[in-house]
């Protein structure tokens, strides 16, 4: 076994697995998962797409494809991303099995054992696992309500004896923090990072899931913003905008980084599933993706607002949170010294499950937070479950 495999990382992994199996137990109310609602999948659209596939397209679906992805999907996805303002032309696109694989491949391309990297705290658990699997030395910088703490990041960068291999961030509808980087924060970040020869990995799985049209300008990705002398490796996913079961995401990265990533992808699984690539391509080309997105945005907004309202009505005043304006998550900040695991145990006894915040801390020490998701729970169930969470909080932390 490798030094990594011998490590302790599997302890947390099995805890998460237990939690997830609990979360799907009949009768339990789950705010734990980050998966779209089963009831929201575009099944009718899927049927129409499947039944209109030609024999030739089905053959393509069953065959190996190029490592970088099927040419037709690369084309339609490029158009989709360009419409969002992304700079596709100067970069290369690669289809991956979810954006997690894109992040994993980038980690493999950049990290030798013991190399420093910088992430936000809290951060996406999947990315943390990927970075740990290559034995990165993870350094974290706190998040504020309007983005990454620029001053803390500056101090960190200026104090490091050797350059970190990259900075990994999730500027839009952060998982788990639920926040959005403000436009000013994005600009300040670019300014800070320019000319340092440290690439930024911008993870963007949620930016299409905004509640308010007027936020679109703020959600403009860092990859699409003016900058000089700064490599941005952009990752995205079909998981939240069609379905995770397709297992498709992408990276959009500068050519010199792409070449290494293609080689790594080739050694992992040769190519992504052609079958689901053919389906995703049709979603994009028929514009079904846009009507579907309108539909789910509406539904996630209903669920999100219901959860916000319910939390406001039931939370003790010492618990704070940033109201989400899109995405899947709300991050509840508990008083210093609280161990959210105690609250989780009580909540489970009462039939409700969520994820305790320590899961998203790369150093596994910050215990006073809770992530609740509204993506996979109907409004009436949210209204039933959130008071239970609040009750459990009060039982542990006081009224």
> Which residues contribute to the site for its own copies (CB under 8 A)?
1-5, 9-10, 13, 17, 33, 35-36, 38-39, 41, 43, 46, 50-51, 55, 58-65, 67, 96-98, 100-101, 104, 108-113, 126, 129-130, 132-133, 239, 242-247, 259-260, 262-264, 266-276, 279
Nearer to its own copies, 4 or 212 (CB): 4
Residue 132, both tokens: 């740990």
Nearer to its own copies, 73 or 392 (CB): 73
H helix runs in the chain, sequence order: 3-6, 9-23, 43-51, 55-62, 71-83, 98-110, 125-133, 150-159, 183-193, 255-269, 274-285, 288-314, 340-349, 379-397
Locus of tokens 């990705």: 221
Find, among 335, 345, 348, 355, the residue nearest to 398 by Cα: 335
- CA dist 294 and 211 (Å) reads 10
Tell me how far, at minimum, the Cβ of 50 lies from its own copies, in Å. 6
Nearer to its own copies, 29 or 279 (CB): 279
Nearer to its own copies, 51 or 365 (CB): 51
Tell me how far, at minimum, the Cβ of 94 lies from its own copies, in Å. 13
Tell me how far, at minimum, the Cβ of 270 lies from its own copies, in Å. 5
Nearer to its own copies, 375 or 382 (CB): 375
Whether the upstream peptide bond of residue 122 has omega within 30° of 0, thus cis, is: yes
Residue 63, both tokens: 């065959």
- CA dist 136 and 340 (Å) reads 27
Q: Are 126 and 100 in contact (CB under 8 A)?
A: yes
Q: Are 274 and 324 in contact (CB under 8 A)?
A: no
Rounded to 5 degrees, what angle do the CA atoms 318, 323, 326 make? 155
Nearer to its own copies, 266 or 320 (CB): 266
Tell me how far, at minimum, the Cβ of 246 lies from its own copies, in Å. 6
Tell me how far, at minimum, the Cβ of 322 lies from its own copies, in Å. 26
Tell me how far, at minimum, the Cβ of 69 lies from its own copies, in Å. 12
Whether the upstream peptide bond of residue 176 has omega within 30° of 0, thus cis, is: yes
Nearer to its own copies, 245 or 316 (CB): 245
Tell me how far the alpha carbon of residue 146 is from its chain's centroid: 17
Tell me how far, at minimum, the Cβ of 267 lies from its own copies, in Å. 4
């Amino acid at each position: 076994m490798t030094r990594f495999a011998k490590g302790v990382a599997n302890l947390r992994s099995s805890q998460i697995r237990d939690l997830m199996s609990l979360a799907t137990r009949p009768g339990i109310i789950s705010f734990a998962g980050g998966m779209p609602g089963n009831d929201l999948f575009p099944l009718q659209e899927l049927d129409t797409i499947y039944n209109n596939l030609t024999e030739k397209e089905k053959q393509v679906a069953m065959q190996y494809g190029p490592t970088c992805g099927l040419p037709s999907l690369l084309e339609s996805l490029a158009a989709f991303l360009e419409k969002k303002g992304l700079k596709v032309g100067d970069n290369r696109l690669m289809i991956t099995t979810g954006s997690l694989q894109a992040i994993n491949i980038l980690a493999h391309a950049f990290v030798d054992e013991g190399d420093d990297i910088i992430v936000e705290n809290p951060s996406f658990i999947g990315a943390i696992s990927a970075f740990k699997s290559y034995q990165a030395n993870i350094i974290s910088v706190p998040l504020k309500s309007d983005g990454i703490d620029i001053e803390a990041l500056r101090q960190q960068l200026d104090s490091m004896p050797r350059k970190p291999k990259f900075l990994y961030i999730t500027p839009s509808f952060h998982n788990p923090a639920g926040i959005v980087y403000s436009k000013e924060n994005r600009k300040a970040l670019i300014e800070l990072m320019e000319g340092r020869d440290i690439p930024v990995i911008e993870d963007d799985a949620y930016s299409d899931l905004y509640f308010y049209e007027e936020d679109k300008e703020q959600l403009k990705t860092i990859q699409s913003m003016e900058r000089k002398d700064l490599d941005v490796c952009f990752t995205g996913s079909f998981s939240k905008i069609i379905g995770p079961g397709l297992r498709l995401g992408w990276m959009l990265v500068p050519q010199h980084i792409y070449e290494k990533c293609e080689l790594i992808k080739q050694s992992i699984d040769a190519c992504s599933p052609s079958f689901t690539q053919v389906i995703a391509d049709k979603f994009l080309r028929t514009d079904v993706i846009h009507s579907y997105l309108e539909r789910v945005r509406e539904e996630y907004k209903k669920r999100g607002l219901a959860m916000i309202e319910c939390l406001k009505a039931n939370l003790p005043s010492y618990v704070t949170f940033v109201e989400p304006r899109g995405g899947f998550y709300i991050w509840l900040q508990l008083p210093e010294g609280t161990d959210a695991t105690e609250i989780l145990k009580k909540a489970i006894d009462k039939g409700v499950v969520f994820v305790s915040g320590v899961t998203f801390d790369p150093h596994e020490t910050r215990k006073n937070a809770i992530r609740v998701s509204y993506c996979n729970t109907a409004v009436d169930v949210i209204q039933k479950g959130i008071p239970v969470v609040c009750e459990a909080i009060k039982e542990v932390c006081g009224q």
